[in-house]
Amino acid sequence: MATSSTGGAAAMALSHCSFNSRLIDFTSRNRNSRVFLLKMVNRPSFCVRCVSGEPMEKLRDPVADEGIYIYIYIICCISIEFFLFLFLFRVPPDAESIASSITYHAEFTPLFSSESFELPKAFFATAQSVRDELIINWNATYDLHKRMNVKQAYYLSMEFLQGRALLNAVGNLELTGEYAKALQKLGHTLENVASQEPDAALGNGGLGRLASCFLDSLATLNYPAWGYGLRYKHGLFKQIITKDGQEEVAENWLENGNPWEIVRNDVSYPVKFGGKVVTGSDGKMRWIGGEDIVAVAYDVPIPGYKTKTTINLRLWSTKVPSEQFDLHSFNAGEHTKACEAQANAEKICYILYPGDESEEGKILRLKQQYTLCSASLQDIISRFERRSGGNVRWEEFPEKVAVQMNDTHPTLCIPELMRILMDLKGMSWEEAWRITQRTVAYTNHTVLPEALEKWSYDIMQRLLPRHVEIIEMIDEQLVEDIISEYGTSNPEMLEKKLVSMRILENFELPASIADLFAKPEESPTDETDLEVEADDEVSHSDTTELEEEDTQKNKALSKEPAPIPPKMVRMANLCVVGGHAVNGVAEIHSEIVKKEVFNDFFQLWPEKFQNKTNGVTPRRWIDFCNHDLSAVITKWIGNRDWVLKTEKLAELRKFADNEDLQIEWRTAKRSNKIKVASFLKEKTGYSVNPDAMFDIQVKRIHEYKRQLLNILGIVYRYKKMKEMTAAEREAKFVPRVCIFGGKAFATYVQAKRIVKFITDVGATINHDSDIGDLLKVIFVPDYNVSVAELLIPASELSQHISTAGMEASGTSNMKFAMNGCVLIGTLDGANVEIREEVGEDNFFLFGAEAHEIAELRKERAAGKFVPDERFEEVKKFVKSGAFGPYNYDELMESLEGNEGFGLGDYFLVGKDFPVYIECQEKVDVAYRDQKRWTKMSILNTAGSYKFSSDRTIHEYAKDIWNIEPLEMI
C-alpha cells in the first residue's frame, strides 16, 4: 500500500538528513522488509539512505520548486523489531505537516479536478491524510498480533452502522485541534469539511450501530479482534418524505468513492451455490458444480481512543472472474446474457435486507448470509494456518479463534465451519463438531418470532446442498442428545421437547425413534360389524337421514386434504446447538430468552446462557457529538478520564443541585437545541422554538416500538388544545417540539402507514395558527447516525415506549441518557437497568409489564377489554378526517377487534394509552420546574456510566471469547 504519514518519526535513524522527515510503513508480504516514505517539509532537496546501511550521497532534486512537496520511496531491509522501535518514537504531527499532507493528497491522489479546493475535494484529501496516520498504527497492530500469535475474536454481523468516520478518527487520534488548524490554513473549517462525508450505508438500526460501538471499544481496549461484514453498494435505502409518506430511493454513499477503505485484491475467496454433493473415491464428500463467485476483501481501519491499536473491519464485495463474461454472446448482441454471471454475483452486495416476499428475494438474502459466513471463515482459517506456520494443530483452533454471531444472520457459520473442517481438512465428524462448538457463540437480539429466522428447507437444499446434509446430521445428533437426557418413559413430554427444540421443523422423526410415538391402530373388524348390525335394525323412515349423513361424510372425504406445512430450518435453534454460549442483551431480555424463547434448551444446557447488557461508546455519543456538554462534564469532574472510565460520571451526582452547574448544563443543552432548530428548518422547512421542550422518538418504525402510541398521544394533546382558549392552553400545556425519525421497511405496509400518519398530523398542527409554537410535530427524513449525533445532544425527553417484553435492549435509550435526556418508557429492554441506575424519580414510567402481556392478550381475545373513553375519542377524531383526506380506517382498525390478523391491538396501544397520557401530564409538570428538570438531566448522565460499550466488551472478552488485551506501549 502506498501512503504517507505525518510526524518526524525517523529522527534518530535518519538524523544525517537536513530536513524534517516523515516516516511511513509500506508493509510487504515479506515481513522482514519495509518501505519508508520521507517527505520534505522545508527544503526542495532530498537524501536517500538504507536504514541498515551507509548513507548514500545527497542528491539534488532536478524538478522541485519552492512550495512544492516532493515524495520519494526509500526501500529498506530492516527487522520487525527495529521497525517497531521507530514506530514507538514517532512524533505526533502538527498543523503545518498536516496541512502539507492534505495539500499533497489534493494534488497527487485526487478524485476531483485540480482547478479548485472546494469542500468535497477538501474532505477526500483530509480523509486520505487521516488514513495515512491510521495505516501506520493499523499495520503495527497487525504485526504485533501476528508476532504474539494471540487468540483473536471475530465479530460477524450483517450490519455495521458506522456513520461518518472523519471526526471520530481524528478524535480517537487526539488530533482534532491540529486538523482544525490545518484546515483553517487551507481556507476551510473542520466541521464544514466533515459535513461532506456521507454516512456509510452498511446498516439500518440498533443491530448495526451496536456492532460499530463494539469495534470502537475493542480497539480502544486493545483487544485483538476484527469485524466482518458485507460492502453494500446501496445500503438499505435513502428515505424521502413526500405528501404520500415514505418513498425509497437507492443509497449513493459510494458514488464518489470511499476514502477509508482499501481493496485487498490479493485477499479473495471462492463462494459456491447450488450444484450437488458426491462421494469421492477416498470416501470424502465433494460439493461440485453450481454457481461460483468470488468474495473480495475491502478493509476499513478502526482506531481506538488514546491508543495506537487500530483494528480491522473487513467487508466483502462479490464478483466473478473475467472469463465468465460471455464474449461470444456479447458480440452476438445478447448483452444481458453475456453479463448475467457478473450481474448475479454483484447483486449479492447491492442492498441490505432485499425484499424477501418473492422466492428470488429469499434466495438473494440466503446468498448474502452464506457469502458473509463462507468468505469470513475461509479468511479466518487462512490466517490461523499462516500463524501456525508448518505446524497446524487443529485442536488449538478454538484456543486461537473466537467467532461471535451477531443475531441469526451468520448462523451458516456453523455448517460452513463443519464443511471446511471435514471436507477440506479431512477431519472426522466428532473432531469437527468439537472444534465448532468451542469456537462459535451467538447473541440473540430479539424475541419476535418473525425475527428468529427460518429458512425454507427446499430453497436451502437447492442453494446449499452440502450444508443441508450437515444440518440434518446436527439435528439427528440433537435428537439423540434429547432422548439421552430425558429418556423414553414419557413419550408425550419427549415429543413436545423434540417439536420445540429440533432444528428441522415439520420433519418426521428419525426412523430409529419414530416407533416410540406410534399410536396403535384400531381394529376395523369390530367397527364394521357394529355398522352391519346397526344397518339390520334401520327402518325405512331412517334411511333418508342416514343417506344424508353419508353424503356429508363423502363430501368431507372428497375435500382436498389440509396443506402439508412446509419444511423449515430454524436458524436460532441451530445457533444454540452449534455454539458454546448464548447471550441476551439486557437483564430482562436474557430472562425472557431463558424462560420463554429457548426454555427447553436452557433446561438442557443452562451453562450456555448469559446476559451481556448492551452499551454504546461514550467517545462518539458524548465527547465527539456533544462538545459543549463534554466540556461541562470535564470541568466539574476535574479531568477527561471519564471518556475512558465512565464510572467517573457518577461523580456528577454530588453536584446535581449546584446552581452554577445547572446554569452551565442548561446553556449547553440550549446551544444544541439552536443547532437542531436550524437543521430542522433546512431539512423540513418548519421553524421551531428552541425554548420549547424537545421531545424525540427516533428508531426503526415498527408496531412494537409504538410510534403509533406516541402520535396518538400528540393527537389527543392537540384536540384538547383546540377545545381551550389561548390562555387556557398556555396555562395547561408546556410548549413542545415532537420529533420523529426512522425508516419503515419498504414492504412493511402498516409501518409506512404510521409514517404517513405522523407527517399528516404534523402538516395539520404545524400550520394551525391557533396552536403556534405551543406544539410542533416534525418527521426528520432519512434518519441516520449523523442525524442522531445532532438530535440526541439536543433532546430533553426521549420516548422508549415499546410493548413490554418485546424490545431486547435498545441502545438509543443509553445514548439519550448519556446526553442528559430524561426518558419516558415502559419496563422493557435496557429501560429496566437505566431506571435502576438513574433513579426512579428521574425516569417517567408507565404501562403494562412484561409478565402481564400474555394474560392481557388472552383477555383481549376473550372480549374482556374495555377501552378507555379517551382512546375511543382520539380514534374517532382521526377517522373524522381532521388530518386530511387519507383514509386511516385500516390503521385505526388494527387497534380494534379482539383477535385476527391485523386486528386485536396486539401491541396493546389501547391498554397503555390512558396511563401514557397521564404520564405525559407529569412530564409537563416536571418541565415547568427547570431546576428540578435540570437535576433530573444531570442525574441521567451520571447514572449512564454502566452503559458504556467498554464495559460490555470487557464482559464478552472475559466470559465468552477468553481473549486478553494486547497494548502497544
CA distance 501 to 598: 8
CB of 188 closer than 8 Å to CB of 195: no
- Count Cβ atoms below 10 Å from residue 339 Cβ, excluding itself: 17
Which residue in the list 612, 699, 706, 717 is annotated as catalytic? 699
H helix intervals, 819-868? 831-838, 853-861
Show the 3-state SS of 706-733.
Answer: CHHHHHHHHHHHHHHHHCCCHHHHHHHC
Cα–Cα distance for residue pair 370/605, rounded to 1 Å = 27
Report helix, strand or coil for 630.
helix
Helix axes 909-928, 930-942, angle to 10 degrees: 110
CA-based torsion, 585, 591, 596, 601: positive or negative: positive
Cα separation values, 145 from 223, 226, 913, Å: 10, 11, 55
Please state, as a whole number, how many other Cβ atoms lie within 10 Å of the Cβ of residue 572: 23
**Of the listed 367, 776, 815, 946, which one is catalytic?**
815
Q: 22, 38 in Cβ contact below 8 A?
A: yes
Of 490, 485, 489, 480, nearest to 513 by C-alpha is 480
Asked if residue 302 lies in contact with residue 173, where contact means CB atoms within 8 angstroms, the answer is no
Identity of the amino acid at 54: E
| 145 catalytic residue (yes or no) | no
Angle at 128 between CA 792 and CA 619, to 5 degrees: 30
Contacts of 344 by beta carbon, 8 Å cutoff, 6+ apart: 291, 293, 320
For 616, what's the count of Cα atoms within 13 Å in the CB-facing half-sphere?
26
Taking the chain, what is the end-to-end CA distance rounded to the nearest angstrom? 25
Residue 594 falls in the annotated catalytic set: no
Give CA–CA dist 414/404, Å, rounded.
11
What values do phi and psi take at 616, rounded to 5?
-130, 155
- Report the C-alpha gap between 718 and 706 in whole angstroms: 19
Spell 857-895 as b/e; 16+ CB within 10 A means b.
beebeeeebebeebbeebbebbeeebbeeeebeebbebb
In the set 408, 759, 811, 934, the catalytic residue is 811
- Please report the beta strands in 781-841, taking only residues with DSSP state E, as ranges in sequence order: 797-800, 822-825
Contact criterion met (CB below 8 Å) for 865 and 898: yes
Q: Is 732 a catalytic residue?
A: no
Cβ atoms of residues 211 and 161 within 8 Å: yes
Question: Backbone phi, then psi, for 185, in 5-degree steps?
Answer: -60, -30
851: Cβ contacts below 8 Å, ≥ 6 apart:
805
Distance separating alpha carbons of residues 579 and 562, to the nearest angstrom: 37
Clarify whether 815 is annotated catalytic.
yes
State how far the Cα of 856 lies from the Cα of 867, in Å rounded to an integer.
13
**Cell numbers found for residue 945:** 456510566
Annotated catalytic residue 705: yes
Alpha carbon distance 316, 143 (integer Å): 22
For residue 260, CA distances in Å to 130, 263, 303 come to 9, 10, 12
> Which spans in 685-805 are helix H?
707-722, 726-732, 749-766, 785-794
Question: Among all chains, which residue has been given the C-alpha cell 465512565?
Answer: 646
Dihedral of alpha carbons 526, 528, 534, 536, sign: negative
Asked whether the beta carbons of 567 and 507 are under 8 A apart, the reply is yes
654 is catalytic: no
Q: Which of 594, 705, 706, 717 is catalytic?
A: 705
Neighbours of 111 (CB within 10 A): 15
Q: Cα(188)–Cα(208) distance, rounded to whole angstroms?
A: 32
Q: Which of 700, 729, 800, 857 is catalytic?
A: 700
Burial class (CB in 10 A: 0-12, 13-18, 19+), 92: middle
Catalytic residue numbers read 445, 699-700, 705, 811, 815
